Structure 1
Amino acid sequence: MKQFFLKIFTWWNSQTFGTQVWTALYGEFVGEDENGNRYYRTKGGKIDPTLGFERRWVIYNGYAEASTITADWHGWMHHTVDVPPTELNYKPREWEKPHRANLTGTAGAYRPSGSMLASGRRPKATGDYQAWTPGQ
């Protein structure tokens, strides 16, 4: 019962009821990434007359956070690549870093040493700054 209400009243938790119905009626499963996100397109790759290209969408595994889409699927989602990574046998290059989610707003976010949110004390001013005053 809890899952039923979550699908009706929340958009940030996986998928809404409307998205589930739309996917069942018009969607074709394309693939899944290592994060468990599932990717869909219109059945048969049909071109949407309003958009002029096929619709593509993702159903997130858990919290709907766009930064959880990996680089290989990002290109397909944004129509940069026509063929999904499942058909390309995509292999990352040795210089590519593994995907990391966006941690902004969380405890794991980057906080430089001068930030007020960083742990420890803020460093003292060095004296190399001279304030601007009008008329100088």
Structure 2
Amino acid sequence: MKDFLLRVFTWWNRQTIGTQFWTWRKGELVGEDEFGNRYYRTRGGAKDPALGFERRWVIYADYAEASMIPPGWHGWMHHTTDVPPSRDTYTPREWQKPHRPNLTGTAEAYRPSGSTLASGQRPPATGDYSPWTP
């Protein structure tokens, strides 16, 4: 019962009932990534008349976090590449880095020097600032 209510009233836990129905009715599974996220497109690659291209969507394995999409799948989702990473003909580009989760709000988040949350002392002002006066 709890799972059903979560699917009706929340969008951040995997998929809603509407998304599940749309996927069942119009979707075609393209592949799955190493995190368990499943990627879909419109059945047969049919173009959406309103968009002019095929719809592509992801159903997250757990919490819906956009940074959990690896680079290869991100390119496919945004129509940068036509070949999904699940096919044998896919080769990642040399500039594509491995996935790193979004660390914002955690202790491992990037904190530049001078940040009030960074460890150490803030560097003194350099004197190059002059306030505006009308």
TM-score by length of 2: 0.86
Deviations 1:73-132 (A, max 9, x none): 1111111111211124434456643111222233321112311122x3432415544533
State the SS of the aligned residue for 1:28: strand
CA contact (8 A) 1:115 1:122 kept: no
CA contact (8 A) 1:30 1:84 kept: yes
Aligned pair count reads 134
State the SS of the aligned residue for 2:72: helix
Give the 4+ runs in structure 1 shifted more than 4 A. 93-96
**Partner residue, 1:72:** 72
C-alpha displacement at 1:54, in angstroms? 0.8
Q: Does 1:122 align with 2:118?
A: no
With over 3 angstroms needed to count, the CA separation of the structure-2 counterparts of 1:93 and 1:82, relative to structure 1, is closer
Q: Aligned partners of 1:89, 1:51: CA distance in 2, in Å?
A: 27
State the SS of the aligned residue for 2:24: helix
With over 3 angstroms needed to count, the CA separation of the structure-2 counterparts of 1:129 and 1:13, relative to structure 1, is same
CA contact (8 A) 1:75 1:81 kept: yes
With over 3 angstroms needed to count, the CA separation of the structure-2 counterparts of 1:23 and 1:95, relative to structure 1, is closer
State the SS of the aligned residue for 2:82: coil
State the SS of the aligned residue for 1:80: coil
Q: Aligned partners of 1:41, 1:94: CA distance in 2, in Å?
A: 26
State the SS of the aligned residue for 1:24: helix
State the SS of the aligned residue for 2:86: helix
CA contact (8 A) 2:115 2:122 kept: no
Q: Aligned partners of 1:132, 1:93: CA distance in 2, in Å?
A: 47
Deviations 1:38-89 (A, max 9, x none): 1001111111111111111000121111111111111111111112111244
Deviations 1:1-35 (A, max 9, x none): 22111111111111111101111111110001112
Q: Aligned partners of 1:15, 1:111: CA distance in 2, in Å?
A: 34
Structure 2: gaps spanning 5 or more residues? none
Q: Aligned partners of 2:71, 2:100: CA distance in 1, in Å?
A: 10
TM-score by length of 1: 0.85
With over 3 angstroms needed to count, the CA separation of the structure-2 counterparts of 1:123 and 1:18, relative to structure 1, is same
Structure 1: gaps spanning 5 or more residues? none
